[in-house]
């Protein structure tokens, strides 16, 4: 088998064409971001990340299907990364005939160049390419080479950068709730794997050239499987990059942080945690609900309605004191039904805080019986925290919010925050 011939390209201001707008195309674009290339993407449908990069002016988008005439555009490199295998193959054949550099999305589509596995050290890139062009084996070899070098006391890309993957709680909604430790980790990161609940201002703290990987899970939209997130963390951590896993609120409060550290531990990748302010305190208090008061209540409870069966929701109803419910907006009817069946009064006060801490925050005061009506359009109240058995403090209500005429439902009032 012939050995690959590795070269190092200066792509500053050079045109690079990516045909396709899905997962693989997005990965190719992410890999090019630090190179200074002028990236053009042609695809009728584009991933949210590609749209975000276009909005930031990092890539040019041509939002339509590929046309054969596109191959006459100047391009030092072309990536054929559509989800149509035959089309990728045809593009590769054509460009190979023309003596141009082209990479098909999968080995069967063909290619005359491939991208090696890389790790960055100070002003240098370490690269590994295998003879058969197997990216998984290349990444494994690179991780082993880095480990070997480090254990022999060599100049490692990881020098001064232990541990490898840091789970950082970004706080809920308001970017001011990020901790000092979290900010420092974000500023130093090579790669940031982030949720969609993370405020965009927090992502702006990333250093230029840091790779941002969006893995947001949205109750009504695109899903990235937890296993995929785990393997991204393991992969990036194994490559010796300084990785931040940035999660809304606190990583271990309904954040699936436990599964991520288990995956990292099992793969032998070092990790640590910078806790964050959870919405349980960061959202409720800022919206005027105080969860404890001397002489009023001795405690409060928190549960998630995401996958909780109705019988269990009914058992939660028996708990005394305020009950804060995460991921319950789309389950309002079940919560009201089970709570009332579980013995709570339909007139019991309930506060809902949607998008707490953001410019579009909305706070509603209602009753358990009216909750399903209030949340009949769940997407308008997401993400939202439901607090049963609580009211907003009068002192807060008087100063910080304005009443709106939304939701003409008996006993229900909706407020927005005064921005002053």
Ligand X SMILES: C[S@@+](CC[C@H](N)C(=O)[O-])C[C@H]1O[C@@H](n2cnc3c(N)ncnc32)[C@H](O)[C@@H]1O
CB of 248 to ligand X, least distance (A): 5
CB of 346 to ligand X, least distance (A): 23
CB of 351 to ligand X, least distance (A): 11
Sign of dihedral through CA atoms 88, 93, 97, 100?
Answer: positive
The CA distance from 331 to 219, in Å, is 12
Give, as one character, the DSSP assignment of residue 161.
-
Work out the burial of residue 15: count CB atoms within 10 Å of its CB; fewer than 13 is exposed, 13-18 middle, 19 or more buried: middle
> Which CA distances in Å does 88 have to 75, 94, 182?
16, 10, 42
Give, as one character, the DSSP assignment of residue 249.
B
The CA distance from 399 to 402, in Å, is 8
By beta-carbon distance, which residue lies closest to ligand X? Answer: 249
Catalytic residues: 195, 217
- Residue number with CB closer to ligand X (205 or 327): 327
- Residue number with CB closer to ligand X (240 or 249): 249
Positions touching ligand X (CB under 6 A) are 172-173, 197, 247-250, 253-255, 278-279, 283, 326-327, 353, 355-357, 383-385
Which tokens is 170 given? Answer: 């970004």
The dihedral region occupied by 83, where left means phi > 0, alpha psi between -120 and 50, and beta the remainder, is alpha
- Residue number with CB closer to ligand X (249 or 288): 249
3-state class (DSSP) for residue 331: helix
| 297: Cα separation from own chain's centroid | 36
- Residue number with CB closer to ligand X (322 or 357): 357
CB of 5 to ligand X, least distance (A): 47
CB of 197 to ligand X, least distance (A): 5
Sign of dihedral through CA atoms 62, 207, 196, 115?
Answer: positive
- Residue number with CB closer to ligand X (25 or 386): 386
């Amino acid at each position: 088998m012939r050995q690959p011939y590795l070269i190092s390209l200066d792509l500053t201001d050079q045109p690079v064409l990516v045909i396709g707008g899905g997962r693989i195309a997005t990965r190719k674009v992410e890999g090019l971001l630090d190179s200074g290339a002028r990236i053009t993407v042609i695809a009728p449908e584009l991933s949210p990340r590609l749209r975000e990069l276009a909005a930031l002016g990092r890539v040019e988008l041509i939002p339509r299907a590929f046309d054969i005439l596109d191959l006459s555009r100047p391009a030092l490199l072309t990536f054929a990364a559509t989800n149509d295998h035959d089309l990728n193959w045809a593009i590769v054949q054509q460009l190979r005939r023309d003596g141009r550099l082209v990479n098909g999305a999968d080995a069967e589509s063909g290619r005359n160049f491939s991208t090696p596995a890389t790790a960055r050290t100070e002003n240098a890139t370490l690269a590994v390419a295998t003879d058969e062009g197997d990216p998984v084996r290349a990444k494994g070899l690179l991780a082993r080479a880095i480990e070997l070098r480090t254990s022999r006391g060599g100049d490692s890309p990881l020098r001064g950068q232990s541990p490898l993957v840091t789970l950082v709680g970004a706080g809920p909604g308001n970017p001011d709730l990020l901790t000092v430790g979290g900010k420092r980790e974000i500023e130093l990161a090579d790669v940031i794997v982030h949720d969609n609940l993370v405020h965009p201002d927090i992502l702006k703290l990333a250093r230029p050239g840091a790779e941002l990987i969006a893995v947001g899970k949205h109750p009504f939209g695109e899903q990235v499987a937890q296993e995929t997130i785990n393997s991204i963390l393991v992969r990036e951590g194994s490559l010796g990059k300084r990785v931040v896993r940035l999660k809304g609120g606190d990583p271990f409060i309904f954040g699936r942080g436990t599964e991520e550290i288990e995956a990292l531990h099992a793969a032998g990748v070092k990790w640590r945690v910078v806790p964050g302010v959870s919405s349980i305190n960061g959202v409720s208090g800022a919206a005027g609900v105080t969860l404890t008061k001397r002489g009023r209540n001795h405690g409060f409870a928190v549960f998630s309605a995401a996958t909780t069966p109705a019988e269990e929701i009914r058992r939660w109803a028996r708990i005394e004191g305020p009950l804060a419910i995460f991921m319950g907006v789309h389950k309002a009817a079940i919560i009201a039904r089970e709570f009332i069946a579980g013995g709570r009064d339909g007139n019991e006060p309930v506060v809902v805080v949607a998008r707490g801490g953001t410019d579009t925050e909305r706070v509603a005061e209602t009753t358990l019986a009216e909750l399903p009506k209030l949340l009949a359009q769940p997407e308008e109240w997401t993400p939202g925290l439901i607090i049963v058995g609580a009211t907003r403090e009068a002192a807060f209500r008087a100063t910080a919010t304005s009443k709106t005429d939304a939701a003409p439902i008996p006993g229900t009032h909706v407020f927005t925050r005064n921005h002053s």
